[in-house]
């Protein structure tokens, strides 16, 4: 769920602490108020959303904030981001209940066992399952669990550890970055950009199909390569299973697990209906996930106390990312209080005037791609950048929906390349795959993803991907 569970893993990886980084940005933001003059654009309501009116910028005097505002802004940022913070925690708690029922784990094990005699079909089927979970429920941290299941399966079937690792991680990743209905990225970013929740879903479905197909073909090509030449296999921690290894037959899925999975599917059916019919937003979506999670817990014969405990555990796994959202909002509080947000928008739009319009969205994507190294949290990154990118897109002729697309691509693609992403490093360690070897293996497909993302962004710009 959510990259790093909206940073469910520790925000500190290899000495880089996301909290310290954002606190430094807060300090720098207060320092900026001493040198950047205030300024303001006129704003207007167009089709029920607020837009900046180009050509109306008026510069003012500097409005320096006191040093104590560094600390005051953190509380104000938490309050400002409360809606998003609690939405993330409720979704995390709901998925915690689902995970505790064991239904998802049972389903993956069942599919793996039934496909053991059809290894070439195993790759596209399992990758589709993980891609769907990445796209619909923002699965990311949970991939570590499935790496422990699929990697030894792949080694036993004559593939290698990288094949099994890629089935899980690359499958979930292309789903996550396509974000058909990802509650942690596209829903949060669209809310900040004042777009209807899950609007533009048709284009994202096309992106999902293309990205999934490209990833599957890439993994199948590599799997066939190591099958032809076993000397090229990377076996990691499962070398003992390469010769004579056997799969353990899992317990068959019981009726409770089957009913839980059908209930989980029904959750998304109701969600789509509510968003389309009644324009549901985070309050209703969060309530829906919680309602269905409780139902799934009861179906799974969990006692009320157990359901509550699992909800707390699931929410706790997302707490780091939730706090990052609040800290990111503190920067925006500072910019707003000092009146320099519009000044930054003004100069940023002037700089982008020199970039061809067709490539402006690609520039946004590249910025988001590298920012994820420092802020490896999808919802946190959305909270940090979308308040700036949404009005900026209005000024430079990029639709807000396209700016959200640039964000989801930049955030999603980088989730399985940067060492600051905790669950990636944990999964690599579990599989026994050196980080450098994974990076070299993934580099060709990284280029493919970047090219495809750029093409989709250029097309989005050409068709004025909307509704606005």
**Which whole number is the average pLDDT over 85-106?**
86
Instruction: Give the confidence band of 15 by pLDDT, cuts at 50, 70, 90.
Output: very low
Q: Is residue 453 part of a domain?
A: yes
Domain membership flag for residue 47: yes
pLDDT of residue 422: 67
The CA–CA distances, whole Å, from 400 to 64, 238, 334 equal 31, 47, 24
Q: Tell me if 80 is assigned to some domain.
A: yes
Q: Regarding beta strands 49-52 and 12-13, do their DSSP bridges make them parallel or antiparallel, or are they unpaired?
A: unpaired
Confidence of residue 375 (pLDDT cuts 50, 70, 90): low
Mean pLDDT across the chain = 84
Q: Per the domain annotation, does 271 fall within a domain?
A: yes
- Tokens 């999670």 belong to which residue? 293
Identify the domain containing residue 235 by its residue range: 4-462
Dihedral pair phi/psi, residue 248, rounded to 5°: -85, 130
Q: In DSSP terms, which residues pair with 58 in a beta bridge?
A: 40
- Domain-located, residue 467: no
| Domain-located, residue 468 | no
What is the reported pLDDT for 51? Answer: 63
Q: What is the mean pLDDT of residues 57-81?
A: 92
**pLDDT score of 246 more than 80:** no
Phi, psi of 375 (to 5 degrees): -125, 80
Lowest-pLDDT choice from 63-67, 370-374, 444-448? 370-374
pLDDT for position 178: 95
In a domain, 63, yes or no: yes
Find where tokens 């969205």 sit: 361
Residue 383: CB partners within 8 Å, gap ≥ 6? 81, 84, 188, 192, 324, 325, 328, 329
Residue 422: inside a domain: yes
Name residue, tokens 């837009």. 51
CB 52, CB 345: distance < 8 Å: yes
In the structure, what pLDDT confidence band is assigned to residue 429 with cuts at 50, 70 and 90? confident
pLDDT recorded at residue 383: 73
What integer is the mean pLDDT of 457-463? 94
Residue 1 pLDDT more than 60?
A: no
Residue 135: closest CA among 421, 395, 445, 378:
378
- Rounded Cα distance between 123 and 96, Å, is 27
Check: pTM over 0.85? Answer yes or no.
Answer: no
* Phi, psi for residue 61 in degrees, rounded to 5: -90, 165
Task: Indicate if the pLDDT at residue 248 is higher than 80.
Answer: no
Task: State the pairing for strand pair 43-46/49-52.
Answer: antiparallel
Please state the length of the chain. 468
- Check residue 12 and give its pLDDT: 44
Q: At what angle do helices 82-101 and 255-278 cross, to 10 degrees?
A: 160
Domain count, the chain: 1
Q: Which of 361, 368, 294, 349 is nearest to 90 (CA)?
A: 294
């Amino acid at each position: 769920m959510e990259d790093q569970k909206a940073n469910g893993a520790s925000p500190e990886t290899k000495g880089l602490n996301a909290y310290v980084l954002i606190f430094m940005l807060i300090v720098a933001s207060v320092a900026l108020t001493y040198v950047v003059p205030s300024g303001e654009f006129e704003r207007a309501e167009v089709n029920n959303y607020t837009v900046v009116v180009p050509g109306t910028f008026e510069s003012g005097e500097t409005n320096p904030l006191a040093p104590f505002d560094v600390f005051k802004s953190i509380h104000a940022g938490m309050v400002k981001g409360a809606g998003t913070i609690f939405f993330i925690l409720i979704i995390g708690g709901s998925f915690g209940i689902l995970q505790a029922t064991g239904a998802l784990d049972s389903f993956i094990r069942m599919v793996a066992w039934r496909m053991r005699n059809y290894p070439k079909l195993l790759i596209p089927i399992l990758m589709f399952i993980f891609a769907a979970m990445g796209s619909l429920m923002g699965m990311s941290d949970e991939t570590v669990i499935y790496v422990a299941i699929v990697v030894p399966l792949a080694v036993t079937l004559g593939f290698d550890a990288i094949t099994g690792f890629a089935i899980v991680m690359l499958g979930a990743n292309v789903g996550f970055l396509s974000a058909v209905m990802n509650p942690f990225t596209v829903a949060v970013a669209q809310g900040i950009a004042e777009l209807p929740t899950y609007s533009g879903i048709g284009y994202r479905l096309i992106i999902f199909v293309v990205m999934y197909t490209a990833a599957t073909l890439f993994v199948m090509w590599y799997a066939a390569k190591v099958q032809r030449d076993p000397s090229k296999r990377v076996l990691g921690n499962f070398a003992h299973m390469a010769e004579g290894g056997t799969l353990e037959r899992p317990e068959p899925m019981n009726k409770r697990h089957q009913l839980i999975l059908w209930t989980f599917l029904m959750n998304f059916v109701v969600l789509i209906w509510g968003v389309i019919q009644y324009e549901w937003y985070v309050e209703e979506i969060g309530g829906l996930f919680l309602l269905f999670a409780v139902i799934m817990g009861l179906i799974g014969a969990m006692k009320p106390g157990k359901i509550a405990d699992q909800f707390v555990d699931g929410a706790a796994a997302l707490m780091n990312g939730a706090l990052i959202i609040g800290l990111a909002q503190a920067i925006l509080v500072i910019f707003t209080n000092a009146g320099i947000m519009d000044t930054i928008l003004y100069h940023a739009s002037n700089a982008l005037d020199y970039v061809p319009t067709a490539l402006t969205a690609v520039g946004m994507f590249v910025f988001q791609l590298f920012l994820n190294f420092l802020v490896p949290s999808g919802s946190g990154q959305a909270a940090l950048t979308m308040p700036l990118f949404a009005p900026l897109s209005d000024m430079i002729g990029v639709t807000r929906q396209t700016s959200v697309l640039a964000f989801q691509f930049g955030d999603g693609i980088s989730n399985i390349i940067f060492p600051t992403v905790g669950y990636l490093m944990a999964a690599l360690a579990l599989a026994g795959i050196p980080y450098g070897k994974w990076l070299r293996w993934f580099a060709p497909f990284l280029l493919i993803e970047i090219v495809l993302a750029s093409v989709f962004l250029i097309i989005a710009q050409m068709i004025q991907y909307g509704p606005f």
